[in-house]
Amino acid sequence: MLENQKILVTGPSSQVGFPVARELARNNEVWGLARFRKEAEREKVEAIGVRTYAADLAESSFAELPDDFDVVLHFAVVKSGDFDYDLAANAEGVGRLMSHCRKARAFLHCSTGGVYQHAGNKALRESDALGDNHRVMMPTYSICKIAAESVARFAAREWQLPTTIARFSVPYGNNGGWPWFHLMMMKAGAPIPLHPERPNRFNLTHEDDYIAMIPRLLEIAAVPATVVNWGGSESTSIEEWCAYMGELTGLEPHFEETDQTIGSVILDPTKMHELVGPTRVDWHDGIRRMVEALNPELLASGRKG
């Protein structure tokens, strides 16, 4: 991992940002930028050795934020459903942040596989069509993420700031994630929505892998910005991971087909493998470790190992 660096992490209390900030704070000076509307979130981040800075990406000028960071990891995202606010925070916000941090040697902008046009079970390459993928669940998300990528591309060129735009897929781990939400639905006996175009496949990305990949993602930052898929080397389906959690816990998943949910988003990992390398955590192992960490009481007798 990085050592003796001054690092800015946005969204440091989030599911993804928190384990990243915690790991980096061991050997670096880490600052965490977020709205911190809940004091408990600020205290949680400060407890791992991160210096906090409260700011709203939609309107902050970052006047009191240092501008001498070595690298910036931009994980913050706003999903309020209000297009004006979400575009200001996600698109304009990344532009202002990159302008303020233009002295950095590298900027990692965390985008999403949700920027791609839905294509069923086709593995999507970085050159494939973009579209309003997540509209049915998060109406502003895909459009704002595409807009943010465009601003990040401009800012990289305008300020000669080496940038990587990483299109992330389904993070999970001991800090939770989409599979954990499905586990909670299984526990409650609630139906899990599935797109009718089955199987519903995604690239689960364990926290051990995405943390380990960050140094290399920063190394490949460039002008123009490097765009790369970022997800598990092997895709799997909601159906498969819920069935496996059922084996571990004895809980039975109940599925409900609906077109009011996100369909498959499968990332082609070819470019990631060339530039960054493969992921290492098998999804079965990652799911088991997640259940052991968050809900050990649900593990069925004899299945814990």
Q: Give residue-wise pLDDT tens across range 215-239.
A: 999 999 999 999 999 999 999 999 9
Residues 78 and 137 occupy one common structural domain? yes
Say what the pLDDT of residue 301 is.
Answer: 55
Of the residues 230, 247, 268, the one at which a domain ends:
230
* Burial status of residue 81 (CB atoms within 10 A of its CB: 0-12, 13-18, 19 or more): exposed
Residues 22 and 100 occupy one common structural domain? yes
Say what the pLDDT of residue 300 is.
Answer: 76
> What number is the average pLDDT over the span 282-290?
98
Percent of the chain with pLDDT over 90: 97
> What number is the average pLDDT over the span 138-152?
97
Is 1 within the bounds of a domain?
Answer: no
Give how many domains the chain has, as a whole number: 2
Query: For residue 86, is pLDDT > 70?
Result: yes
Say what the pLDDT of residue 303 is.
Answer: 52
> What number is the average pLDDT over the span 6-26?
97
Residues 11 and 28 occupy one common structural domain? yes
Q: Given pLDDT bands bounded at 50, 70 and 90, which one contains residue 304?
A: very low
Residues 95 and 164 occupy one common structural domain? yes
Residues 128 and 39 occupy one common structural domain? yes
Residues 180 and 265 occupy one common structural domain? yes
Q: Given pLDDT bands bounded at 50, 70 and 90, which one contains residue 305?
A: very low
pTM: 0.96
Residues 73 and 143 occupy one common structural domain? yes
Residues 70 and 218 occupy one common structural domain? yes
User: Which among 166, 74, 156, 152 has a CA at the least distance from the CA of 111?
Assistant: 166
Query: For residue 302, is pLDDT > 80?
Result: no
User: Which among 165, 173, 168, 228 has a CA at the least distance from the CA of 203?
Assistant: 168
Cβ 117 vs Cβ 232: under 8 Å: no
Q: Given pLDDT bands bounded at 50, 70 and 90, which one contains residue 283?
A: very high
Residues 146 and 178 occupy one common structural domain? no
Residues 49 and 158 occupy one common structural domain? yes
